[in-house]
Amino acid sequence: MKILKFGGTSVGSAERMQALAGLISGGAPKIVVLSAMSGTTDALVEIAEALAAGETEKADGLTGALEQKYAEVCAKLYGTRGALGKGSALVASHFRHLRSFTAEKFTGKEERAVLAQGELLSTAMFQCYLEEKNIDSVLLPALDFMRIGGNEEPDMARIEADAAKELSRYPGKTLFITQGYICRNASGEIDNLKRGGSDYTATILGAAIRAEEIQIWTDIDGMHNNDPRFVAKTRPIAELSFDEAAELAYFGAKILHPTCILPAQLRNIPVRLLNTLQPEASGTIITGRSTGDSIKAVAAKDGITAIKIKSGRMLLAYGFLRAVFEIFERNKTPIDMITTSEVAVSLTIDSTTRLDAIVAELKGFCSVEVDDGQSIICVVGSFTAEKEGYALKIFEALRNIPIRMISYGGSENNVSVLVDTKNKREALIALNEGLF
Ligand code: ASP
Ligand code: MG
């Protein structure tokens, strides 16, 4: 069995859904994981926000506009009266459900139920289209097998058992459709795997059923060796190791959800990144094999804040870093990069919601400087393969760029530097020229 996940743009219009049906029909047995149509989850977030704020009229208006959009898609998607009637009735039932939420009782639980409607809609509409085209398929409700535990992590043991049980009900079937992103939580309520989580559904499910391959289909031909928005002539990377892909996914290579590599890596299931608009292109394959050669890609992440902490007390003292880290822990703010000298530590964060509280606490025992508007640029590869010389190559390429921090040696797959965001484009271009 293979898992094929398609993102929001791949089901983003009637035409794209029709093309998708052609792409997935026939061939080896597969489970197709779908996102919501592009824009839908954002719209549902707005509806939920309006309801949470007690703005019922606003929520009604937004719901009406979204329903209109779906009516238009149905009108184009289905060719027969029967299918149009059935598809429209399915859509209407989800919108009736959406309208049943009221501002009077709108807690996190209701919010998550609202957010789940996008994937429920796209899969119902798509499966109805497959029926119209006489393509035999089974709609597997993700809420019957995807589950997170109390720690918000996937409950792998239960997912394995429940997914196997669901699949065993359909011997001989070869095409299954299911929802990405949505799941149940430890209390059995509807929940989700956080924004962009459909990739995660695909790799969790792939790991649970020990799929032979997990395919993530998007609108770009695999992971690129640099950011195509800033650098001309980037190219897709043919092959990456799980470790390299995990570093890249985290550092803003938007095409993969950061946590989704792990389940595939644990079961050693290859993940292939493919392009719906160019299905024959080979894309990127991510496997447990070390691909041997050195520098693979460069990626950048903006919106970084650097905090420099200086204290005479750090000199020869132990426990200083613990005290610093505890402040970030208490404020639930993850640290991305860190460098130290004998008397100072610099670190970076990408969420500033608790910045004022963090700075106030730090000032209790050291001096603090904050710089916002920074970008982390990371160079990813397997640096064991090329023990000497790669640092020279990186820094030679960056010789004209002011560098605020350097992180080297944290893993064998990543060298990161922090630069002012205004120098990012130049740095990416310089690295492209110097490294590839
Ligand atoms: N529909 C969800 C989102 O927009 C999940 C996903 O597409 O991966 O975040
Ligand atoms: Mg995505």
Per-residue model confidence as pLDDT tens digits over 213-240: 999 999 888 888 998 889 998 999 999 9
Q: Which ligand is nearest to the CA of 256?
A: 2
Q: Identify the bridge partners of residue 18 per DSSP, sorted by sequence position.
A: none
What is the mean pLDDT of the segment spanning 67-80? 98
Q: Give the whole-angstrom CA distance, residue 93 versus residue 62.
A: 17
Average confidence score pLDDT of the chain: 93
Ligand 1 pocket test, pick from 35, 111, 122 with the greatest ligand atom count within 8 Å of Cβ, gives 35
Q: Can you list the pairs that 191-195 forms with residues at least 24 positions away whose Cβ atoms lie under 8 Å?
A: 191/112, 191/148, 192/112, 192/115, 192/116, 193/146, 193/148, 193/154, 195/41
Strand, coil or helix: 95: helix
Which ligand 1 atom lies nearest to the CA of residue 193?
5
Does the beta carbon of 198 lie inside 6 Å of ligand 1?
yes
Half-sphere exposure of 80 (CA within 13 A, CB side): 10
In tens, the pLDDT along 118-136 reads 999 999 999 999 999 999 9
What's the pLDDT score for residue 390? 84
Domains parsed from the chain with CATH numbers: 2-218 (3.40.1160.10), 296-435 (3.30.2130.10)
pTM of the model: 0.89
Residue with tokens 């149509």: 37
What is the mean pLDDT of the segment spanning 305-319? 83
In tens, the pLDDT along 359-400 reads 999 999 899 999 999 999 999 998 876 667 888 999 999 999
Which ligand 1 atom lies nearest to the CA of residue 201?
8
Task: Report whether 62 contacts 49 (CB < 8 A).
Answer: no
